[in-house]
Structure 1
Amino acid sequence: MNLKGKQKRYLRAQAHDMRPLFQIGKDGLDENWLNQVIDAIDKHELLKVNILQNSLVEEDEAIEYIQTHSQIQVVQKIGRVLVLYKRSSKPQNRKYSSEVAKL
């Protein structure tokens, strides 16, 4: 599902006060890291990822890797911080997706 402008704006506003839950460091991106992000985003639906200064991965590379290897969508990129969204598979964890569907 591709997000519309209003939906992205809503998600960006909700993520504004969040702190990054994950970091991409010098080890870069791998399948294990992505699996952990997928598990966490299924519980939270919306989270932030920080790309550390010592990381060998650029922001655009991280966005491409995340979107091609999962159903996660990158809502926003601010500097070295990415905002990620994916609708939860469990109805009790759908805090944001019900509001996104209305927009």
Structure 2
Amino acid sequence: MKLTNKQIQFLRGEAHSLKPVVQLGSNGFTEGVLAEIENSLEIHELIKVKIPAQDREELNLYVDAIIRESKAVKVQLIGKTLVLFKQAKEPRILLPKGK
């Protein structure tokens, strides 16, 4: 799914008040974490994931893996918090149209 700049800006605003619903633990990005991310995306469509990485390179590796495996769209990365969006089969968030 490809989002326009207007849609990303809208989702950033929606995500502002959200708290992280998934946090990677000491084991990193496991199948259990992936299942929790996918489940949360199906329920909420827009979530925050807290990634306690040691450095920027490790953080980027986790972000790339999460996006690839969950097939979600990266809305934003602030510090160690990743905002993801994946439209559910029955959409709850109506995205604005246009550019």
Verify same fold: TM over 0.5: yes
- Structure 2: runs of 5 or more not aligned: none
CA distance in 1, matches of 2:52, 2:60: 14
CA distance in 1, matches of 2:52, 2:74: 18
The normalised TM-score by structure 1 is: 0.83
CA distance in 1, matches of 2:61, 2:96: 29
Counterpart of 1:102 in structure 2 is 97
Count of residue pairs brought into register by the alignment: 97
Counterpart of 2:36 in structure 1 is 36
Structure 1 runs (4+) greater than 6 angstroms displaced = none
- Structure 1: runs of 5 or more not aligned: none
Counterpart of 2:63 in structure 1 is 63
| RMSD of Structure 2 on Structure 1 (CA) | 1.9
Question: What's the CA shift for 1:58?
Answer: 2.5
CA distance in 1, matches of 2:85, 2:58: 20
CA distance in 2, matches of 1:30, 1:15: 24
Q: Larger deviation: 22-31 or 9-18?
A: 22-31
Counterpart of 1:51 in structure 2 is 51
Letter aligned with residue 18 of structure 1: L
**Identity level (%):** 33
The normalised TM-score by structure 2 is: 0.86
